[in-house]
Structure 1
Amino acid sequence: MEPVERFQLDALAYLQCALGLLGSVVLRRMDSAYGRYASPGPAFRVPARAAWALQELPSLAVPLGVCAGTAAERLRRAPNRILLAMFLVHYAQRSLIFPFLIRGGKPMPLYTFVLAFMFCIYNGYLQSRYLSQYAVYADDWVTDPRFLVGFCLWLIGMLINIHSDHILRNLRKPGETGYKIPRGGLFEYVTAANYFGEVVEWCGYSLAGWSLQGGAFALFTFCILFTRAQQHHQWYLEKFEDYPKFRKIIIPFLF
């Protein structure tokens, strides 16, 4: 059974790569339906805080369930435990902390919420099952340059993501409405500093784990967030005449 499931996990990783590329194409051809882009139509919507908390929660709950319900032999080794902890720390922040810091926030269309919820189940299972049952690392992997650089990138990316979200939350003073140009942090260089942080985070996770499953997640993240960042960048350029033209889309000094 083990070779069969290992093959299935690899197949799921390749499928995730394909979904990322397909999702990027689809997002380019249709308007996003969240936040500032959501139309005021009659479609059923989920309150912002509830949507973010519930849609991200499977990426925390599924891995905990996978590990609790199986022997999780590989988690006896430090590299596997650290890598899984990296994944869980991010989603603990995204599902248990981030949603409750949101100020206002527009309700999310139900289908957008459902798609995000399903992806988090998918990816939570893929990453946790692989790390808990099949990922094989030497005991000294935690001193390997790939792990050390990857871990540092993961930590830096998470801090950038959290700091950038803080800037976005505090753009408006109490009682103010409307949109403003983000200032401070990496927003001085790119339009989507929060997305840049998340891309760096998962690229670091992928490097530290050196696996197909981690690489697939990083590729999926980049494909989706880069496309969204392009949409944000164009929106700011059209909305604000004084928007800094030197700012890149998502990667400082590149694009």
Structure 2
Amino acid sequence: MDALLSWLWSSEEEELKMLDFMAYFMVFMAVCTFLSLLFQNVPYGRYASSKYGFPVNVKLAWFVQELPSLLLPLCLMFWESSAKMSQLPNQLLVTMFLCHYFQRTLIYPFVIRGGKSTPFVSFALAFVFCIYNGYMQVRYLSHYAEYPAYWVTHPYFIVGSALWLTGWLLNIHSDHILRNLRKPGETGYKIPRGGMFEYVSAANFLGEITEWTGFAVAAQSVHSAAFALFTTVVLSSRAVAHHKWYLTKFEDYPKSRKALIPFVL
């Protein structure tokens, strides 16, 4: 890993500039993605289409595409110098990132019930994104991010960490509700009920958006902010599409339920 990074970057200053560039490029891609999603849903799940490539088994797709966001950060920390990992704020922020992807890589794919296959293009793009983002987030936090010793008691860190934990738990609980909608042998879609699904159609997406927004508040970096923005763009678009789909699919769908933000949107 050290030899690879030395080959890629001639100095730490050059690598840091590239990490910053990657963050700003992700912001640019978030804008482009927002515009494209005005005309086309992200093609996986209920919106999957054969025109985006051959189908990949949904469990395999989730495991493989999320794996870089877990494996690459671990390699960066254990096989390469991690100058800032002796500092508590950096340790906690990296732990937040890894907790999410530990669950998303090693637990979530193996408890999926049913689920449509993922088109190869969607799978490949998700895989590339996880490499890109996994490197950007954890390399910055483990090697470059500077925080004062009191940062863990700063309001930004406390509020951000609380939001992260709330979103993480909401995301896991909402996935549990969705996973148990159908009894063994049943097929087709059902109306989600319970938890935050009583208020919004996309409680799982609300959880993940809250999670990474909290992470960005706690980390206070352009890298974490870019990730939170990109996540919000993709998942809010999908939340609105889900909400419209539910209203069309079910005549008895709760009319008071919003798409993503309780009582608002």
Q: Hey, what does 2:220 align to over in structure 1?
A: 210
Q: 1:59-208 maps to which residues of 2 (within 5 A)? A: 59-208=69-218
Name the counterpart of 1:230.
Answer: 240
The letter for the 1-side match of 2:91 is R
Shift of 1:68: 1.9
Shift of the alpha carbon at 1:23?
1.4
CA–CA distance in structure 1, aligned partners of residues 147 and 16 of structure 2: 16
Deviation (angstroms), 1:33: 2.2
Q: 1-side partners of 2:53 and 2:32: how far apart?
A: 25
Aligned to 2:46: 36
The residue aligned with 2:7 is: none
Match of 2:63 among 15, 40, 53: 53
Q: 1:24, 1:227 → 2: CA distance?
A: 8
**C-alpha deviation, 1:42, in angstroms:** 9.5
* SS in structure 2 at match of 1:139: coil
One of 226, 231, 238 as aligned partner of 1:221: 231
| Kept in 1: contact 2:177–2:193 (CA 8 A) | yes
Unaligned runs of 5+ in 2: 1-10
In structure 1, give the amino acid aligned to 2:127.
F
Shift of 1:40: 5.7
- Residue identity in the other structure for 1:111: V
Which range is displaced more, 53-62 or 15-24? 15-24
Q: Give the whole-Å Cα distance in 2 for the aligned partners of 1:95 and 1:161.
A: 14
What TM-score do you get using the length of structure 2 for normalisation? Answer: 0.93
Describe the shift of the 1:7–1:41 C-alpha distance in structure 2 as closer, same or farther (beyond 3 A): closer
Please give the alpha-carbon distance, in whole angstroms, between the structure 2 residues aligned to 1:169 and 1:70: 39
Q: Say which is worse superposed, 42-51 or 175-184, in terms of deviation.
A: 42-51
Provide the C-alpha distance between the structure 2 equivalents of 1:93 and 1:21, rounded to a whole number of angstroms: 28
SS of structure 2 residue aligned to 1:64: helix
SS in 2 for 1:93: helix
Q: Deviations over 1:130-180 (max 9, x none)?
A: 001110001111111110111111011000000000000111111111111
**Aligned-residue CA RMSD (Å):** 1.3
Q: Give yes or no for the alignment of 1:24 onto 2:34.
A: yes
CA distance in 1, matches of 2:95, 2:29: 25
2:43–2:52 contact (8 Å) kept in structure 1? no
Say which of 5, 8, 11 aligns to 2:15: 5
Matched, 1:247 2:257: yes
Query: What is the identity percentage for the equivalent residue pairs of Structure 1 and Structure 2?
Result: 55
Render the CA deviation track for 1:65-88: whole Å, top value 9, x for unaligned. Answer: 111222110111010011001000
CA displacement at 1:8 relative to structure 2 = 1.2
Please report how far the alpha carbon of residue 226 of structure 1 lies from its aligned counterpart in structure 2 after TM superposition: 0.4
Preserved contact between residue 53 and residue 120 of structure 2 (Cα < 8 Å): yes
Q: Take 1:42 and 1:216, find their aligned partners in 2: how far apart are those partners?
A: 26
* CA deviation profile, 1:23-74 (whole Å, cap 9, x unmatched): 1221221243211122367941110111001100100011111112221101
